[in-house]
Amino acid sequence: MGKTVLVTGSATGFGRGVALGLARRGHRVVAGCQIWPQVWELRNAAKADGIEMEVIKLDVLNEIDRNKALGIEIDVLFNNAGIMESGPMIEIPMTVFRSVFETNVFAALELAQGFARTMVKRGAGRIVWTSSVAGLVKVPFDGAYAASKHAVEGICSAMCEELKPYGVQVVTVNPGAFRTGFNDTGMESMDQWWGQGERVVAHWPVRELDRQHDPAEMIEAMIGVIEAESPPYRTVRPARAEEMVRNEQAEIWDRRA
């Protein structure tokens, strides 16, 4: 039986792949895009491929957009919209740091809260959060994004236990480095402000992101988590990223300053 799934951040990357993939598999998909040109582009792309899918404007920072989305009855919220801003922790402007938390943490939590209340009353539902490998390990020069995903991990671990008695499932998906363009633009983002003032520590070393993985692997895993009757709480891809996370978390106990 098909599910009704709201996917945030559907214009590009994982969100787009998951939305189209779920729709192809017969689910009712509501795909949220940040701006109107993205809405029209995705609608036209779905139509050209013969895919039936509802595409709405959903800027997660926009209260009007959030309230409209919260009026839709869904089985699964895929809390996927996010941004990445890079830079050394002592240099990154606080306005930039706050913007990451506004999108990745606060706006996502507001959506989760709204849908969770309805799910609790119904006694069923699932909230899938796009976290990150960066939410589980140290990530120098990407501390703002990593901190936001560490916050997501804390929120999800609490919410999972709080909602379990009411029949509502909360799980995370944790991508490593995949070729969606997200990591590339996230690294480049610091160039917008780096030259605007004196800097006392090094810039993120310029390097090609040439070891990223095919996003199809992560998209398939995300669809599996949404469709499964009883998905794992945490899904990390690729497999070697999971191994890295487990090793680094074990090493933390012996780490010295």
Report which secondary-structure segment, H or E, holds 197.
Answer: none
Side chain identity, residue 158: A
Residue 97 φ/ψ, nearest 5 degrees: -60, -45
Strand partners, 54: 30
Q: Which of 145, 150, 218, 245 is catalytic?
A: 145
Report residue 95 as tokens.
Answer: 């306005």
Report residue 128 as tokens.
Answer: 């899938």
Task: Establish whether 166 is a catalytic residue.
Answer: no
Report which secondary-structure segment, H or E, holds 221.
Answer: helix 215-227
CB 241 within 8 A of CB 135: no
DSSP letters, 132-181, are -GGGTS--TTBHHHHHHHHHHHHHHHHHHHHHGGGTEEEEEEEE-SBSSS
Catalytic residue numbers read: 145
